[in-house]
Amino acid sequence: WGKYDPVDLVKQDMLRYGIEPTDFDHEEAGAVIDLMTHITMLYLHCQFRNLSRKRTKLTVCLQELGKLQVYTEILDLKLYKEISGQEKPTKENPDPLRLMFSNYVVEFVLSVMIQFVKLGLALELYNDHEYPVMFWYLDFLYGRWSVVKNTTMDFR
């Protein structure tokens, strides 16, 4: 940890995930990486809190991740234009067969959302009649995560 800058750690993680190194050269990629680094540091910081504080800090992370998702979608659309020459993906011209920044962020968001719901279960924040809905929601989140994972595995 002491040898690396947090920005470099996020870049290395993105590279391991499968994002193309050339995508980092885009002018807006730096802002996305900086914001992802900030969120990663917030996320790591909240892991050292007690359970009730952790849930509050995860709320802040989710708010920041919402902003990051908007930025990554804009960046991915610009990268798509550069790669394909098309304005936006259509049925005839789908997304390029490669991983984009938004894939990376969606996986992170899903894992934080799952942790958030599970913390609510651990802290017994839900009433008895809410448990079926919470378990349905966890099943939904795990299902979405599975779909994203399977889709990204096709690109590797």
Look at residues 44, 96, 47, 102 and name the one whose alpha carbon lies nearest to residue 72: 102
The pLDDT, as a whole number, for residue 88 is: 73
Instruction: Kindly give the interhelix angle for 101-122 and 6-17, rounded to the nearest 10 degrees.
Output: 100
The pLDDT, as a whole number, for residue 30 is: 92
Q: How many whole angstroms separate alpha carbon 143 and alpha carbon 156?
A: 20
The pLDDT, as a whole number, for residue 84 is: 77
The pLDDT, as a whole number, for residue 97 is: 60
- Where b means 16+ CB within 10 Å and e means fewer, 117-127 reads bebeeeeeeee
**Is 43 in contact with 86 (CB distance < 8 Å)?**
no
The pLDDT, as a whole number, for residue 145 is: 93
Sequence spans of domains, the chain: 6-154
The pLDDT, as a whole number, for residue 99 is: 67
In Å, what is the CA distance from 125 to each residue of 54, 58, 118? 14, 15, 10
The pLDDT, as a whole number, for residue 98 is: 65
**Three-state SS at 56:** helix
The pLDDT, as a whole number, for residue 9 is: 92
The pLDDT, as a whole number, for residue 79 is: 86
The pLDDT, as a whole number, for residue 95 is: 65
The pLDDT, as a whole number, for residue 87 is: 75
Task: Compute mean pLDDT per 10 residues along the chain, 156 residues long, and list them.
Answer: 83 91 90 95 89 89 95 88 77 67 93 95 93 96 92 72
